[in-house]
A = this chain, B = another copy of it.
Amino acid sequence: MAFGEDEYRGRLAKVRAAMAEAGIDVLVECDPANMNYLTGYDGWSYYIPQCAVVFEDRDLPLWIGRGMDLSGAHLTCFMPEDHVMAYPEDLFGWADRHPMQFVAAEIAARGGGKRRVGAARDCQQMTPRMRDALAAALPDSRLIDGDLVVNRVRLVKSPAEIVKMREAARIAERVAEAFREGVRPGVRECDVAAELQRVATSGTAEYGGDYPASVPFLLAGPQAHTTHLTWTERRFGANETVCLQFGAVRQRYHCVLARTIHLGKPPAALAELDTIVMEGSEAALQAARPDARCEDVEAAWRKVISRHGLSKEQRIGYPIGIGYPPDWGEGTASFRPGDKTILAPNMTFHLFLGMWSAERSHVASETIRITESGAELLANVPRAMFVKT
């Protein structure tokens, strides 16, 4: 278990309050990050049906999954053994029956059969078939949207969660160092990507690293202007840009960074872009403080880059913390126009200033914590483009 029982009980109290506000009596949660947040469960089993169930009138949630994952759930969930249970194996993988029938029966057995059941409509682990199977097996319940109820509670981190993210930042600093050391002309992209993963998993001498919700996006030369491709076996060239976005993780808590290296003397246009992004990122960081709105952070950035004749279509940040592949974003607030979410202490964001074009590409990002008076960088890694000649 990554945390003591008090931490989980505190989260559940907040989630039950949020459920009450959303009119939800029973919440069926399949998102692996939310399941981890609610129960402690940490397994790579979310490719099949499983869930946590939170009742508004019960202290402890249920974990329900496949039989072969029960032993892992017993080791990682904070609840007593009788709150961790498996559906029968023969409900799994057939067209005429579904594990959600077992989940529904357990809900009904606890008085939830005629109540308002929340289930996400826009969560990848809750497929249309799963949601329909749950609804069909709870004919007297009202199935309502349970999207983001837990995610919104996750926005503000506890002190214990911040500790994990700081530990992740120590690992991120090591990965960034390996990036600066490893990239040079003639080396294969796959060999640098390999070393970055080795460092991220190995962690520090004091604690190990965990897997990030995405592999490193190491994108160079002809791929430098792409965003979500992955490394190739190509060798770095003598004069090219290398963009990296990567996550470092401690017990599922992420610190994400993006950095740019240019091999050789950078073209003037790229050096200029670097200067603009540095100025824009500082402006965004200045704007990120309690009581500001998410849109204010983006507006501060936009004011700088538009003065230089540039624009950026995408949001420039989103909350991070717990994450499982394929996504480390929490899915709630965004630094973008129109997002009125008010910043508060111990919110944590990935502030990501990526600027891509066929002519020049540049990525820079920080994982930040909103403090009592501003924003704090979790990792200590020079943000400007690193020129390697």
Residue A161, interface by CB 8 Å: no
Neighbouring B residues of A193 by C-beta, 8 Å: 201
Select from chain B the residue with minimum beta-carbon distance to A217.
B44
Contact among B44, B75, B223 for A223, CB-based, below 8 A: B75
Residue A23, interface by CB 8 Å: no
Contact among B189, B201, B215, B228 for A194, CB-based, below 8 A: B201
Residue A231, interface by CB 8 Å: yes
Main secondary structure of the interface of A (DSSP, over half): loop
Residue A198, interface by CB 8 Å: yes
B211 touches A215 (CB 8 A): yes
Residue A214, interface by CB 8 Å: yes
Contact among B188, B211, B314, B327 for A68, CB-based, below 8 A: B314
B125 touches A132 (CB 8 A): no
Neighbouring B residues of A228 by C-beta, 8 Å: 43-45, 68-69, 72
A194 touches B190 (CB 8 A): no
Query: Contacts A72-B228, A228-B72 known; A89 to B44 CB distance under 8 Å?
Result: no
**Which of A116-124, A272-280, A291-299, A370-378 is near enough to bind chain B?**
A116-124
Q: Mark A165-194, 1 if CB is under 8 A from B, else 0.
A: 000000000000000000000001111011
Copies of this chain held together in the complex: 2
Contact among B188, B211, B215, B233 for A230, CB-based, below 8 A: B211
Q: Mark A245-282, 1 if CB is under 8 A from B, else 0.
A: 00000000000000000000000000000000000000
Q: Mark A24-43, 1 if CB is under 8 A from B, else 0.
A: 00000000000000000011
Neighbouring B residues of A313 by C-beta, 8 Å: 67-68, 89
Interface footprint category on A: 35 or more
A46 touches B326 (CB 8 A): yes
CA distance A329 to B69 in the complex (A): 17
Count chain B CB atoms within 10 A of each CB in A44, A126, A356 and give the residue with the most: A44
Query: Contacts A47-B327, A69-B228, A198-B197 known; A233 to B215 CB distance under 8 Å?
Result: no
A304 to B: closest C-beta gap in Å: 20
B44 touches A226 (CB 8 A): no
Contact among B43, B122, B198 for A127, CB-based, below 8 A: B122
Contact among B93, B120, B211, B327 for A334, CB-based, below 8 A: B93
Q: Which residues does A use to contact B, with CB under 8 Å?
A: 42-47, 67-69, 71-72, 75-76, 89, 93, 120-132, 188-191, 193-195, 197-203, 207-211, 214-215, 217, 222-223, 225-233, 313-315, 324-327, 329, 334, 354, 356, 358
Q: List 17 A-B contacts (CB under 8 A).
A: A43-B226, A45-B227, A75-B222, A89-B314, A121-B128, A124-B125, A128-B128, A188-B208, A190-B201, A194-B198, A194-B200, A194-B209, A197-B198, A207-B233, A208-B233, A210-B230, A324-B326
